[in-house]
Amino acid sequence: MTELNCVLVFQEKAGAITAYYPYTKWRNILDAPNVGAMESDLYGHIGNTDVHVTAAQISNYDTAIAGLIEHTENAEIHITAAERATWTTGAQKAEQAAADASSALNLAASLESRVARVEDGLFNNITGNPFLVSFDALDGVSLVKGVWNAERQRIEC
């Protein structure tokens, strides 16, 4: 015969807990565990909020899950793969346009500087030895005074 290790526990209307032992490994009911100790364990289990949830908690879970489902199914707040590709292409074009604009500003500043030197040579009485040094980066240069404007590729004093 198979030995079962189970106990049926009943709570009477008056609140008292009784135990019924069907065929078990205990051949004699006197060999069964103490019902009083089982009663305190059972009441401890019933009041354990770590293993049981309240109706309010279930309602909160239902609300949260419903909100997630609603969010997931909302097509107005999600983008399609085509929209993402379009936006990525647009961002790349904007980045390239910014780089082109920076390059054009550098060229315009360089030309402006050259025109100013020509004008100084033609219209001003320059008696010294003016010079202009153009460079793209400060590699190998120790900047002692001024601020390097990398976008405009110049030192500003």
Query: What does the pLDDT look like over 17-29, one tens digit per residue?
Result: 555 555 455 555 5
Give the pLDDT of residue 140: 79
| Stronger pLDDT, 30 or 43, i.e. the higher one | 43
Query: What does the pLDDT look like over 105-139, one tens digit per residue?
Result: 989 988 998 888 788 777 777 766 766 666 777 78
The alpha-helical segments, DSSP class H, found in the chain are: 35-46, 55-72, 81-123
Decide if 148 contacts 155 (C-beta within 8 A): yes
Give the pLDDT of residue 10: 57
**Taking Cα atoms as reference points, which of 42, 43, 6, 39 lies closest to residue 24?**
6
pTM exceeding 0.95: no
Query: What does the pLDDT look like over 34-70, one tens digit per residue?
Result: 556 666 666 677 667 777 777 888 888 889 998 888 8
Tokens read off for 120: 């100084």
